[in-house]
Structure 1
Amino acid sequence: MQSVNDEPIAEKLVRTTLSGASIKPLYTPADLPSFSPEAELGQPGQFPYTRGIHASMYRGRLWTMRQFAGFGRPRDTNARFRFLLDQGQTGLSTAFDLPTLMGLDSDDPRCCGEVGRLGVAVDTVDDMLALFDGIDLHQVSVSMTINAPAIVVMAFYLSAARQRGWDWKALRGTIQNDILKEFHAQNEFVFPPEPSVRLVVDLIEFCTPHVPLWNTVSISGYHIREAGSTAAQELAFTLADGHHYVRQCLARDLHVDAFAPRLSFFFNAHNDLFEEVAKYRAARALWAATMRDEFGAKTEAAWKLRFHAQTAGCALQAVQPEVNLVRVGYQALAAALGGCQSLHTNSMDETLALPSEHAVTLALRTQQVLAHETGVTNTVDPLGGSYFIESFTRQMKQDARAYFTEIADQGGMIAAVENGYFRRKISDAAFAYQLAIDAQEKLIVGVNAFQQANEEPISVMPFDESTEDDQLASLRTVKEQRSGDEVRRTLTQLKQTAETGNNVFAALLQASDARATVQECMDAMAEVYGRFRPAAAW
């Protein structure tokens, strides 16, 4: 393979963003015709929030350093949580294993070999109690990344908090609870789209008065981007999902200024630094305008788009894995320059295994160096006013609005999900990007350029093969000791509530207290809602 240092390859490089948008060699005032600094840019902490949702941004408070963690048994993840808190992490973020994400119990035959591998196994409220044992939930905010069974897991969390004596009104955190992006990209769905969204709204409706500091949805573009979308598609599809949730809440007569301040967002931080910064700035401005002008929100809290960022897992490479530290550092810089409220930095070894303590510590140190040594926090929106950034932010907004029109032309969100619109768009973008890599129009260090022979392997964390047997034994003990009659009674009540169309959250709390399992709750609701099977045309 010819070196990219040779002139012929340098000449063939295409000057576009990671997503394929053309980049001019120089940006001047001519690229911002009729630009209104007051209307398009504004001041930090003021509508349209292009420059950030807080006036002082990181001068007043740093972003939350929230490293994603979860593996094995609840006690294993609890130990990792404690380790990360000791290293200076300021928030917890929980990864669940595949069976839990799919609404299955560890003892389901389909889960053999998957228990605790990609995240922590949670079957009952007892697992939730063990997961956060000894951690002061009044002092630490908790994020839980789960979608189809999100309402069940949130009921487990609140049941566990009540048993531990925690005040629900003091609990801070986020549950992802964004089922629409599962239909677009990640495939961890159980029920059809409409009842799935109904459960999202059930959780919002219950938690808004009872757990007022909790973010009830983390509207997630991250997984859309991981599936291969462009930055503009990530922006547009994520905001469109948010619009649909708001409309469904309003249709239930929820007050927009009551629930909207607790809708949060989750975006990808990919390699193209300036494209990512423009995406975040455009997202804030678009969301604020829609919330104020279309949905009639009156409070600034309902206009502000707050977002968590995670560095791009799809950008990590199995070859020369130490180079991932460099990638992650630049991606984290984009998130900080773009004004994120919390951030996860990926570990260098995540393409090979679950992160080791060494690797996850380096990932956390990446954030700490960024926050405390680079000066990036010293001034608010340091890229604001750049001809390039402002031009790119404007283009991002235009591209997103064009996608909003396309979605409306499909018949709206549910129709677009069902006819495969989102999947087609994402698949086309992913294919175009791969073609650019194959043609060496886009270079990936170690993959199609700057390859290295005889790499030395790095140490990775081994998986404890006793995990599954231990989790099955724990679940068996819970089932033996609980009241079967009480479980059946609460599951019957859950099914009956679902049949009436009423909010199922209170019924799920009763089932949680009775030690019903994730799968038992999901199966009871599936008898009413059915199970979703995507069309073969997708």
Structure 2
Amino acid sequence: MKSDSGIDIKSVYTKDDVQRSADNEMPGEYPYTRGIQQDMYRGRLWTMRQYAGFSTAEESNQRYHYLLSHGVTGLSVAFDLPTQIGYDSDHALAEGEVGKVGVAIDSLEDMQRLFNGIQLESVSTSMTINATGFILLGLYVALAKQQNADLHKIAGTIQNDILKEYAARGTYIFPPKPSMRIITDIFEWCSHELPKWNTISISGYHIREAGSTAVQEIAFTLSNGKAYVKAAIEKGLDINVFGKRLSFFFNAHNNLFEEVAKFRAARRMWAHIMKELGATYPKAMMLRFHTQTGGSTLTAQQPLNNITRVSVQTLAAVLGGTQSLHTNGYDEALSLPTEEAASIALRTQQIIAFESGAADTADPLAGSYYVEALTNEIEQQALQLIAKIEKMGGSISAIEQGFMQNEIARSAYEYQRKIEKGEKIVVGVNKFTVENEGSAPVFKIDDSIRLVQSERLRHLKQSRNSDLVNASLHKINSAARDGSNLMPPVIEAIENYCTLGEIADELRTVFGEFK
């Protein structure tokens, strides 16, 4: 029998199978196999986030208040596709996509609506945004300044991981080199101005969603992380400073023990990688990660079965030592989650936290012959993949050569082939099926949102100071050309009510677009 990553699984494991174990390791100590804190969740539970964003900023704001009132301890913002790839809602290419897979954000006015009634000093916000991550961070900072917030207290994360976009997801704008420059600008600016902000969430989630195995997920993710660290070092940044603000984002799938082992192996591997690159501070070597349960594992058939899948995945993330967690709604194979589905997803986390006992002790599966052997095997196979990527010249070269894309596609094809042949059982899909299942309620987005956003943009452009807008865009252009940090002129432009699309277009004229 093999795991989903193709690892041979024995019928029973003994101490002879564990050539290397964490027997002498303790949680909170290098290389952090057993967790980054000594007491883990006894000291503080993971942050319970629910990924939400749709339609207009006002409607998303209502969902955020609903989630906060039900016990969410951190917000997680989803943006629509035009926002993700740098187009305002009135752009021709935005038609049919405004507000559909996330909230539409065109200007500082939209950001004000999105967080109306929410003090940014009192909440941790994660924003799933990459190519335009620097603009959304600028919008968040501009709003915090309007609230008279202390920027040194503002906490949160931008995903800001462009390399996985080229390999797995596709929401890129600029070519790799200028994109990497923007990311290191963010590292540099935040180290001085926004010290509690996680400047990147190096993401394996989308690599896994595209069809990778668990081994490929951590191998490709840590390779990308290594590329970001090297780029920051080349810019002259201190690894012990920016290293503390790096975070990761992983997927949790259904194979409970393989997922737990994956998280443990990733922590150990990253600690070794950072030490080899020159880190000496413990916090700069710790792999801190957010987890989201596996969207691609959810089925449109018998959708209530997804509640059980999400529960297993939640347990895997907790037993694996996650720092924050989003649980998917059971209806997400059909639509954006309804309020009922979002509430059940949050309650799933709360039940695991307060009723299961999984949070009572650090690394509860440590010492299991099976889990320790899996941890070692996943680490070994992932290191072999990373070595291949290094021989190609690193992540950027591997992506340019199509290596990561081809490996992911091969794994996705093999997984689907096994389902179609019945070698992999998916309950309710290729076994235990029923006829006439009925239908679940779905969440629908009104297409008129684009008209609302377009009218708002028209009014904004009529009321703002056009001289300040033009001057601000010119400063962005100059900074892009002379190599100075882009964050200050971007924030100034936002405060002068330049739109997201205008800022992105200004940089398109300098950097070009990746095709």
TM-score (norm 2): 0.99
**CA–CA separation in structure 2 for the residues paired with 1:200 and 1:132:** 25
Q: Which amino acid aligns with 1:489?
A: A
Query: Which stretch of the first structure deviates more once superposed, 443-452 or 459-468?
Result: 459-468
Q: 2:398 aligns with which of 399, 411, 416?
A: 416
Q: 2:62 aligns with which of 79, 93, 102?
A: 79
Superposed CA deviations along residues 128-187 of structure 1, whole A, max 9, x for unmatched, are 111111102111100000000101111111111111211111101000000011011000
The within-5 A match list for 1:325-474 is: 325-474=307-456
CA contact (8 A) 1:71 1:117 kept: yes
**CA–CA separation in structure 1 for the residues paired with 2:39 and 2:21:** 24
Q: Which amino acid aligns with 2:53?
A: G
Structure 2: runs of 5+ lacking an equivalent = none
CA contact (8 A) 1:219 1:241 kept: yes
**CA–CA separation in structure 2 for the residues paired with 1:459 and 1:531:** 40
Structure 1 residue 35: Cα displacement = 4.7
**CA–CA separation in structure 2 for the residues paired with 1:152 and 1:458:** 37
**CA–CA separation in structure 1 for the residues paired with 2:459 and 2:366:** 58
- Answering whether residue 190 of structure 2 is matched by residue 190 of structure 1, we say no
The within-5 A match list for 1:314-325 is: 314-325=296-307
Residue equivalent to 2:154: 171
Return closer, same or farther for 1:232/1:409 CA change in 2, 3 Å cut-off.
Answer: same
Q: Which amino acid aligns with 2:325?
A: L
Q: 1:33 aligns with which of 19, 24, 43?
A: 19
Residue equivalent to 2:282: 300
Q: Which amino acid aligns with 2:173?
A: V
Q: 1:47 aligns with which of 26, 30, 33?
A: 30
Superposed CA deviations along residues 256-311 of structure 1, whole A, max 9, x for unmatched, are 1111111000000011111110110001101111112x122121111111000000
Residue equivalent to 1:6: none
Residue equivalent to 2:145: 162
**CA–CA separation in structure 1 for the residues paired with 2:19 and 2:118:** 54
Structure 1 residue 37: Cα displacement = 2.4
Which secondary structure state, in structure 1, belongs to the residue aligned with residue 32 of structure 2?
Answer: coil
Structure 1 residue 36: Cα displacement = 6.4
Return closer, same or farther for 1:476/1:442 CA change in 2, 3 Å cut-off.
Answer: same
Structure 1 residue 19: Cα displacement = 2.3
Which secondary structure state, in structure 2, belongs to the residue aligned with residue 105 of structure 1?
Answer: coil
Query: Which stretch of the first structure deviates more once superposed, 79-88 or 346-355?
Result: 346-355
CA contact (8 A) 1:19 1:433 kept: no
CA contact (8 A) 1:58 1:380 kept: yes
- Answering whether residue 258 of structure 2 is matched by residue 260 of structure 1, we say no
Which secondary structure state, in structure 2, belongs to the residue aligned with residue 67 of structure 1?
Answer: strand
Q: Which amino acid aligns with 1:43?
A: M
Residue equivalent to 2:217: 234
Q: Which amino acid aligns with 1:212?
A: P
Structure 1 residue 411: Cα displacement = 2.1
The within-5 A match list for 1:477-496 is: 477-496=459-478
CA contact (8 A) 1:261 1:301 kept: yes
RMSD over aligned Cα atoms: 1.0
Which secondary structure state, in structure 1, belongs to the residue aligned with residue 121 of structure 2?
Answer: coil
Structure 1 residue 528: Cα displacement = 1.2
Query: Which stretch of the first structure deviates more once superposed, 19-28 or 257-266?
Result: 19-28
Which secondary structure state, in structure 2, belongs to the residue aligned with residue 268 of structure 1?
Answer: strand
Which secondary structure state, in structure 1, belongs to the residue aligned with residue 435 of structure 2?
Answer: coil
**CA–CA separation in structure 1 for the residues paired with 2:419 and 2:37:** 39
Structure 1 residue 484: Cα displacement = 1.4
CA contact (8 A) 2:22 2:372 kept: no
The within-5 A match list for 1:197-236 is: 197-236=180-219
Structure 1 residue 512: Cα displacement = 0.6
CA contact (8 A) 1:233 1:400 kept: yes
CA contact (8 A) 2:174 2:508 kept: yes
- Answering whether residue 4 of structure 2 is matched by residue 21 of structure 1, we say no
Structure 1 residue 34: Cα displacement = 5.5
Residue equivalent to 1:108: 91
**CA–CA separation in structure 1 for the residues paired with 2:190 and 2:20:** 44
Residue equivalent to 2:74: 91
Structure 1 residue 498: Cα displacement = 0.4
**CA–CA separation in structure 1 for the residues paired with 2:427 and 2:168:** 26
Structure 1 residue 102: Cα displacement = 0.9
Which secondary structure state, in structure 2, belongs to the residue aligned with residue 308 of structure 1?
Answer: strand
**CA–CA separation in structure 2 for the residues paired with 1:88 and 1:71:** 20
**CA–CA separation in structure 2 for the residues paired with 1:176 and 1:150:** 7
CA contact (8 A) 1:43 1:49 kept: yes
**CA–CA separation in structure 1 for the residues paired with 2:272 and 2:96:** 48
**CA–CA separation in structure 2 for the residues paired with 1:129 and 1:281:** 40
Query: How many aligned residue pairs are there?
Result: 515
**CA–CA separation in structure 1 for the residues paired with 2:244 and 2:85:** 29
CA contact (8 A) 1:144 1:174 kept: yes
- Answering whether residue 143 of structure 2 is matched by residue 134 of structure 1, we say no
**CA–CA separation in structure 1 for the residues paired with 2:457 and 2:125:** 24
Return closer, same or farther for 1:483/1:36 CA change in 2, 3 Å cut-off.
Answer: closer
**CA–CA separation in structure 1 for the residues paired with 2:337 and 2:18:** 44
**CA–CA separation in structure 2 for the residues paired with 1:274 and 1:146:** 30
**CA–CA separation in structure 1 for the residues paired with 2:76 and 2:506:** 28
**CA–CA separation in structure 2 for the residues paired with 1:284 and 1:405:** 18
Q: 2:228 aligns with which of 218, 231, 245?
A: 245
**CA–CA separation in structure 2 for the residues paired with 1:304 and 1:363:** 28
Q: Which amino acid aligns with 1:529?
A: F
Which secondary structure state, in structure 1, belongs to the residue aligned with residue 454 of structure 2?
Answer: helix
**CA–CA separation in structure 2 for the residues paired with 1:35 and 1:166:** 46
Structure 1 residue 116: Cα displacement = 0.4
Return closer, same or farther for 1:34/1:361 CA change in 2, 3 Å cut-off.
Answer: closer
**CA–CA separation in structure 2 for the residues paired with 1:18 and 1:298:** 36
Structure 1 residue 516: Cα displacement = 0.9
